[in-house]
Chain A
Amino acid sequence: MLGQVLAEFPDQVRLVYRDFPLDFHSGARPAAEAARCAASMGRFWEYHDLLFIAQPDFSRDQLVGYAARLGLDRTAFAACLDGRRFTTAIDADVAEGRARGVRGTPTFFVNGRRLVGAHPIEAFREVIRDALDEARK
């Protein structure tokens, strides 16, 4: 859905993803670690999209399998995942989210304006148009 928003505002909107794995989602953190590994191999968004399709099947073997499906090196990906290279980076995202008052997912900030939970695309269009109007003043 946000992909459609980006397509509608190609020169005006940037989407930045932050990890906020909830404690009671047991597979969320391994998935976040895996997505970071994919990012380090240049395939973050494809992997990100696969995870949303696959959820909640986030066993280690499945996470490695998704990478292989994208053509990533299975051994290198498994080493990255097992090494937990991105724990600190994910913790930093969580800390940032908490500092901003994030309590659940998804939470969005559109030029600082908070949107909590899933919203129809029209809600994003409206907030983006407001932000663009504000920027023109």
Chain B
Amino acid sequence: MARPLSLAALVLALWATACGAQADRSAPPTGAAPGAARAVDSTAMARGPAAATVTILEFSDYQ
């Protein structure tokens, strides 16, 4: 029983680390609400390597 729990903890830790890195890259500008950065991309609506040094976050509409 202990092994599955340890594995789950490891996966959770790795996931949290990955999410934190993404949030740092697209952190809101000074003065924006804390926690405004979305931790996880909707990969279908993103293109370019996930580990890219630069993230362009585009807010747009179609009209």
Contact = CB atoms under 8 A, between A and B. Distances in A.
Interface of A: 2, 5-6, 9-22, 25-28, 31-32, 35, 39-40, 42, 44-45, 48, 51-52, 55-56, 58, 89, 92-93, 96-97, 99-102, 105-114, 124, 128, 131-132, 135
Which of A16, A39, A55, A56 has the most chain B CB within a 10 Å cutoff? A16
Interface in B5-60: 25-29, 31-33, 36-38, 41-42, 44-50, 52-60
Main secondary structure of the interface of B (DSSP, over half): loop
A97 B45 CA distance: 16
A106 B57 CA distance: 10
Interface of B: 25-29, 31-33, 36-38, 41-42, 44-50, 52-63
A4 B52 CA distance: 16
A114 to B, nearest CB: 6
Contacts of A26: 63
A93 B59 contact: yes
Given A6-B48, A16-B46, A111-B55, A56 B63 contact: yes
A72 to B, nearest CB: 14
A99 B62 contact: no
A89 B38 CA distance: 12
21 contacts: A2-B58, A5-B56, A12-B52, A12-B53, A13-B52, A13-B54, A14-B50, A14-B54, A14-B55, A22-B63, A27-B62, A31-B61, A31-B63, A39-B45, A101-B29, A105-B61, A106-B59, A109-B28, A109-B55, A111-B25, A132-B54
